[in-house]
Chains A and B, each alone.
Chain A
Amino acid sequence: MTRFSKFNVSAIIIGFTFLYLPIILLILFSFNESRLVTVWAGFSTKWYVELMQNQGIKDAAWVTFKVAFISSSVATFLGTIAGLVMTRFGKFRGRTLFSGMIYAPMVMPEVILGLSTLLTFITLAIDRGVLTVTLAHITFSMCYVSVIIQSRMSSYDDSINEAALDLGCTPFRTFLLITFPIILPAVVSGWLLSFTMSLDDLVIASFTSGPGSTTLPMKIYSMVRLGVTPEINAVSTILVGLVTAGVITASLIGKRQRQQLAQS
């Protein structure tokens, strides 16, 4: 009943082939000599060279990294507070609404979030640009951070905090010296998730950005609409590589920390 059957092995092999083959092919064809994406004409890095000369892409990449860095940092701050509020503060007035506002943006269709945020900026007479994209990204990212913190806090051992307080540690020092270091891996993964989500977002950025704040996904989207080119494969490969390296590093750090905790 509980053994690992042939069905299980084939489901995993077929499933992962389905998940990974498209990305592997995309990466492979970014090194193709030919402009045609289906004909292999030999290994070449010329599309990467061409990419480096594309000022539009470089500008968009800079805007995207700026937005992603600021929005993920603010979202991590707000989301961590929101996560602690949800798990440690017990009942307060408007808690149900608060919880609703945390879960809804995660499933809300992006076109609705994009449209509603943009119309708000226009009503408040805030000019569209890097700032508006950043504000919009903070709003949905903080919800993800909050949920990550909430699930971390659900297995948090309260007795360590009680011990610190009993020994005369002030509440603020207890938070800083005990709680924060323990939940730090969750905070870091919240930041990373926010960063990559900001990096990836096309729809919300399209609504809330203005002239001069074109992000990389917007740039890629307009290139895709004109057709498949190896240059898009090249920029995609760089993004996939960066994100993969980041996620693997984060998980290795988490693993080491867990091992250290287990040893101590």
Chain B
Amino acid sequence: MSIKEIQIPVFLKRTFNGRNVAISIPYLWLLLLFLFPFVIVLKISLAQPVIAMPPYTPLFSWGDSLWPKIQAGLDSYLFLFSDSLYIKAYLSSIKIATISTVLTLIIGYAIAYSIARAPTRWRGILLMLVILPFWTSFLIRVYAWIGILKTEGLLNLALMTLGVIEKPLIIMNTDLAVYIGIVYSYLPFMILPLYANLEKMDMNLLEAAADLGCRPFKTFWTVTIPLSLPGILAGCFLVFIPVIGEFVIPDLLGGTQTLMIGKVLWGEFFYNRDWPVASAVAIIMLLLLIVPIILYQKSQEKAIS
């Protein structure tokens, strides 16, 4: 046929239809280790917790009447909706994810915009400096903030030495610390798609607006922002979706009152050992995220092609 087909090593082509083999290797891997696991989670979310290993009842035991088993199976979901803790945790996760996405967008836009306006010879190194923390361990970056934010930490020490405050600020173990941690950790995810978009922007359009008497601020709002919308969307998805299920940041920087669903899931699984409820928590979280995930996938496919 055409050029399109020749990229596969030929030895596969001889053994089988090479094209199909090449497709099927990564395809089967993802089916088995990414998609199939969700079926398992759904199945276990319908089971009952028992003290055994594994700690849940089989869904279809001994082939006797199936219907009552499935009836009993919704217990975990009913439990989620009867205890206000879970609903509050979902709502609080959405709130924290929304606020931190907006904060990350504002800060990330200022940085990405500035890098895109920097002299060309600087851009490479500046971009490199944005990417570098992205490669460094998430856990280490969150840990670094504990020493800064805690009551006897470096921030309070600095502010008190400078005489800005008299009593130490309580930031550690509050929602504020969680916001700082999220914005800090996810900033590169926001800057990279924004920069990729802003860097390609046609400067002639901005000059045209200026020539026609548009003020810089208005040009920014009516030309730059709408043109960078794809970058804004990609960045917001990359922050919002994972933050909904974030565990490390609320666990290490947040306090006992910081409710996030990722932390609840972790607790159900590791401390309560209630696997059916943990699975139900995951399924509901997935339902919340399925639309943003599909939108993100569509935007990425468009960006690459």
Contact = CB atoms under 8 A, between A and B. Distances in A.
Interface of A: 1-5, 7-9, 11-12, 15-16, 18-20, 22-23, 25-26, 29, 37-38, 78-79, 81-82, 84-85, 88-90, 92, 94, 97-105, 107-112, 115-117, 119-120, 122-123, 135-136, 138-139, 142, 146-147, 150-151, 154, 158, 161-162, 165, 170-172, 174-176, 179, 193, 196, 199-200, 202-203, 206-207, 217, 220-221, 224-225, 228, 232-233, 236, 239-240, 243-244, 246-247, 251
Given A8-B118, A139-B29, A175-B9, A22 B135 contact: no
Contacts, number: 284
A11 B110 contact: yes
A85 to B, nearest CB: 5
* CB-CB nearest 5 A-B residue pairs: A109-B245, A172-B10, A116-B37, A171-B6, A8-B114
A101 B33 CA distance: 10
A34 to B, nearest CB: 13
A23 B216 contact: no
Residue of A15, A109, A179, A239 most packed against chain B (CB within 10 A): A109
B110 A15 contact: yes
B35 interface: yes
Given A101-B35, A111-B282, A115-B279, A3 B22 contact: no
Contacts of A101: 27, 30-31, 34-35
A22 B26 contact: no
Interface string B275-305: 1001100100110010011101100110011
Contacts of A29: 147
Contacts of B132: 244, 247
A11 B129 contact: no
Contact of A107 (B32, B34, B133, B237): B237
A110 B237 CA distance: 15
A22 B129 contact: no
A101 B207 CA distance: 42
Contact of A12 (B118, B136, B137, B219): B118
Interface in B15-34: 19, 22-23, 25-27, 29-34
B242 A110 contact: yes
A29 B148 CA distance: 11
A211 B269 CA distance: 17
Contact of B152 (A38, A102, A170, A200): A38
B289 A94 contact: no
A105 B293 CA distance: 10
B26 A79 contact: yes
Contact of B3 (A38, A154, A162, A251): A162
Interface stretch (B38-46, B64-72, B73-81, B83-91): B38-46
B136 A240 contact: yes
30 contacts: A1-B210, A8-B114, A11-B113, A15-B187, A19-B184, A22-B145, A23-B133, A38-B147, A89-B5, A98-B26, A98-B30, A103-B296, A103-B297, A103-B300, A105-B34, A107-B238, A109-B262, A111-B247, A112-B285, A115-B41, A138-B29, A154-B305, A162-B3, A172-B9, A179-B7, A202-B138, A220-B139, A239-B137, A244-B132, A247-B132
Nearest to B270: A206
A16 B129 contact: yes
Interface string B219-244: 10000000000000000011001101
A2 B40 contact: no
Interface string B116-131: 0111000000101111
B27 A98 contact: yes
A236 to B, nearest CB: 4
By size class, the interface of chain B is 35 or more
Nearest to A79: B26
B169 interface: no
Nearest to A12: B114
Contacts of A206: 270
A172 B296 CA distance: 35
Given A4-B118, A107-B242, A81 B26 contact: yes
A104 B266 CA distance: 21
B266 A11 contact: no
B140 interface: yes
B304 A116 contact: no
Given A12-B114, A102-B30, A158 B136 contact: no
A120 B245 CA distance: 20
A22 B141 contact: yes
Contact of B140 (A16, A26, A85): A26
Given A108-B289, A236-B144, 20 more contacts: A5-B117, A7-B110, A19-B133, A38-B157, A98-B26, A100-B297, A109-B241, A109-B246, A115-B279, A115-B282, A117-B33, A119-B40, A120-B37, A138-B33, A146-B26, A150-B304, A196-B135, A200-B139, A203-B247, A203-B248
